[in-house]
Amino acid sequence: MTLRKWNYLFWTTLLIGTVAGMIISIIIKLTVKDFSFLGVSVGWYEWLFMIFGASMIAVLSQMGFFAYLTVRYVALSLFRGKMLYWDILQVIIIVVALFDIVYLRFNASTGSGGWMQYIVLPIVIVAASVGVTLQKVKETNKKAWIPTMFFMSVVTILEAIPAFNLEDWTYMFIMIVPLLVCNAWQILMLHKIVPAKNNPGTPVKA
């Protein structure tokens, strides 16, 4: 990846993530009574905090993206010639990650309300991941299925851990929505800005 391409990916991701974060923050502020972002409810200071928070989430998504590329590079080196094992491992991690954000959150709570309220978030993540994966496969090849699902689900969950710790659904969505948008943008742009030999999903090689 050239510096020019990285610069393009960085600024476009930052812009898209900030806009997505602001949109979901505004929706929540208009629909949730007495909601104030990070407890700041003093005029334009709150909007400034929203913009800053959304932009930081976008930057976090980029850190997660490049961390994923590094892990994938190492994994491809370790599993050279045995890609089936790496694919199986990714599927297992996907299942465990999705199960954990239901079970661990439920287990850490008082248990009031039952399981259903803890299943909504994984459903949103899975739905978004499948949608992005279908588009990725359409633009590249079928070998992009598992890597894209892994990135969109597992990496997004890891990036959103701070929001899970808050146990507040408003902040979970304020963080997860821009993360999903940013991650979708980055993974769908990857095969367009990186040569095929380095790309986990291209029309030539996965």
Contact 48, 37 (CB under 8 A): no
* DSSP one-letter code for 2: -
CA dihedral over 79, 82, 86, 92, signed as positive or negative: negative
d(CA 162, CA 64): 14
In a domain, 26, yes or no: yes
| Listed ranges 4-8, 44-48, 147-151; the one with the highest mean pLDDT | 147-151
Which pLDDT belongs to residue 201?
54
Contact 147, 72 (CB under 8 A): yes
Residue span of the structural domain in which 88 resides: 3-198
Neighbours of 181 (CB within 10 A): 23
pTM: 0.86
d(CA 141, CA 191): 11
In a domain, 206, yes or no: no
In a domain, 203, yes or no: no
For the chain, what is the mean pLDDT? 85
Q: Which residues, in sequence order, are CB contacts of 124 under 8 Å at separation 6+? A: 176
In a domain, 111, yes or no: yes
d(CA 109, CA 79): 39
- Here the tokens at position 26 are 């505004």
pLDDT digits (tens, 9 = 90+) for 157-201: 999 998 887 777 888 888 999 999 999 999 999 998 886 654 555
Which pLDDT belongs to residue 83?
81
In a domain, 159, yes or no: yes
- Here the tokens at position 149 are 């699902």
In a domain, 106, yes or no: yes
> How many domains are there within the chain?
1
pLDDT digits (tens, 9 = 90+) for 39-49: 666 566 778 88
Write down the residue that tokens 């790496």 correspond to. Answer: 86
In a domain, 157, yes or no: yes
In a domain, 66, yes or no: yes
d(CA 203, CA 11): 26
H-state helical runs in the chain: 3-31, 44-78, 83-108, 116-139, 145-150, 156-159, 161-166, 169-193
Write down the residue that tokens 């993974």 correspond to. Answer: 187
Ranking 43-47, 98-102, 108-112, 189-193 by mean pLDDT, the lowest is: 108-112
**Cα dist. 7→12, 20, 62, 96, 188 in Å?**
8, 20, 12, 34, 16
pLDDT over threshold 60, residue 26: yes
Share of the chain above pLDDT 70, in %: 85
